[in-house]
Amino acid sequence: MSSPKSTLTSTMAATLAAALLAVLASPARAGDLEDARALQSKRSWEAAAAKYEKLAEADPANAAAALGWAECLIALGKYELAARKVGGAFDANPADASLRLVRARAWYLSGLQVEREGGDGSTILGNMSEAVRWSRKAIEIDPANSAAKVLCAQALLYKNQGELKETMDLLNEVVAKDPKCFDAHFELGQIAFNAGRRDRTQFVAAEKHFRDAFTVDPTSGAALLRATWSKQWQGKAPAAELIDDYLAAGKLLPEDTGALTAIFKLRKSKGCEDKAVAALAALQSVNKRAKTYACTAEAERLAAGGKGGPAVDKAVEGVKAWGEGDIANELNVILADIAWNPGTRIDGKERDLLGEAMWKAWPNRVENPSNAGVWWRDIGKDAKRAVTWYLRAAEAAPESPQVLNDTGVVYDYNLGEPEKAEPWYRKAIEKAQEQGLEPSNDAKDVEGMGYRDALNNLGKLLFVQKRWKDLKAHAESAPDGFPAAAGWLRAADEHLKN
């Protein structure tokens, strides 16, 4: 994982400033470069880039112009363009590490951009390889360049191709020289944290590096959050102490739910429920989603105490407070349990009140309408209400053989409308075949089971309706060895002969 800092490190900034001073040796007019630098300092990226571009085109050997142009392009998110354009000044400046470093940084950021956009994996790795290549060149020119070493380490970490020793050597060299390098401490913390999944003792080193990073930048909630995760995973810290740390991290992370989720889970620790709820309440002024966590915790408590109605009201309040984006799984599980667990003391109307709120907030979560459909079908005994929910589930998961088959089942077995069920069975079979699925009896393979059930249900429907030609076609199109297919084929052939 890369460091959350998006700005240049102090070392890189110093390198940039030194390169820009090279203007004195350039044939370009000093005033033009000063104008470009002034615009850049004001974050007028487009205007500054235009001036740098003219200077670089007029004098391709001008390192300061090429570097400034690349930095502005990076600020505009034009990473690959920045990587390619800066190369024009390389030949004339073979000993300029800053030019190689800015190209490395541009390739690195381009790789992250391609990843965010869901681009091709080989393109991402190719960009990261270029970042490694050019940062190494910068290090060859300037072996003391900390910014180049950190960037090289970040790209190597992303590639994850066995260069861990080189990565750690680079980062340790940086912290030995510059103990206040945030990025180096953060990356070393991340390496140790990942190693802690195999060796719990590594979480001690992870916590130290993340806390060192936080000491360098006390505004970094990301560093403090990870330090506290590392502390918790060591398995020794009291829950109350962890809640205090997560509360401090949460105050620095107004758009993140990591601290909220951690506090929410710790509410189950002995004697910590009130402290956790108070911490969630304190974070509501910083993070709007803290209210959803607090309301869900209160709703769960009310439901456990048999106060179903108030629990639903509090849960709905929390759902409406979430805002855009998908909900955390930890919350969804509890809210769904309140709504559709038969043990919750609420009636169908109250269940639908919460279910509707969840469906409107997160329409792409298929488990919510699916759970509702099951409850209304099997417990509420209202097939019409059940089919309303199953249609919503099918809208959320149009590729799911299980959901498509279950929608057909409600029409077929509960509403007695086989003509409406048949298209759903056929759609379930079609989607399963498109996905290359096999019929399954394994309860863990829900989609394979959905395929199996759709095949059986359609076969039974055609048999009952005595549609022998259709049954024969269905049997012949069934997967090889499907148990019921031979029987369907015999029955169809016997009736078609008569």
The chain-wide mean pLDDT, for the chain, equals 92
Q: What share of the chain in percent tops pLDDT 70?
A: 93
Confidence of residue 25 (pLDDT cuts 50, 70, 90): very low
Question: Quick one: pLDDT at residue 13?
Answer: 52
Q: What is the largest CA-CA distance in the chain?
A: 102
Question: Quick one: pLDDT at residue 158?
Answer: 84
Judge contact between 357 and 370, C-beta under 8 A.
no
Question: Quick one: pLDDT at residue 28?
Answer: 47
Choice between 84 and 162, residue whose per-residue pLDDT is larger: 84
Question: Quick one: pLDDT at residue 493?
Answer: 96
432: pLDDT strictly greater than 80: yes
Q: Which two tokens stand for residue 22?
A: 């090279």
């590490």: which residue's tokens? 97
- pTM (2 decimals)? 0.77
pLDDT tens track for 348-399: 999 999 999 999 999 999 999 999 999 999 999 999 999 999 999 999 999 9
Q: What share of the chain in percent tops pLDDT 90?
A: 87
Q: Quick one: average pLDDT of 199-224?
A: 97
Q: Quick one: average pLDDT of 7-20?
A: 49
Q: Which two tokens stand for residue 296?
A: 């869900």
Q: Quick one: average pLDDT of 270-289?
A: 95
Lowest mean pLDDT among 25-29, 65-69, 84-88, 271-275: 25-29
Distances (CA, A) of 253 to 4, 190, 239: 12, 18, 21
Of 411, 416, 426, 497, residue with least CA distance to 459? 426
Domains of the chain, start order: 1-178 (1.25.40.10), 288-365 (no CATH), 388-498 (1.25.40)
Judge contact between 3 and 182, C-beta under 8 A.
yes
Question: Per residue in 459-473, is it b (16+ CB within 10 Å) or e — as a string?
Answer: bbbbbeeebbebbbe
9: pLDDT strictly greater than 80: no
d(CA 449, CA 453): 6
Question: Quick one: pLDDT at residue 29?
Answer: 56
Question: Quick one: pLDDT at residue 164?
Answer: 84
d(CA 369, CA 251): 35
Describe the chain by its helix, strand, coil percentages, rounded to 5: 75, 0, 25
Confidence of residue 7 (pLDDT cuts 50, 70, 90): very low
Q: Quick one: average pLDDT of 205-233?
A: 98
Amino acid at 50: A
Question: Quick one: pLDDT at residue 26?
Answer: 47
Beta strands in 197-260, from DSSP E residues, in sequence order: none
431: pLDDT strictly greater than 70: yes
Judge contact between 377 and 414, C-beta under 8 A.
yes
Question: Quick one: pLDDT at residue 88?
Answer: 84
pLDDT tens track for 113-164: 999 999 999 999 999 999 999 999 999 999 999 999 999 999 998 866 456 8
Confidence of residue 205 (pLDDT cuts 50, 70, 90): very high
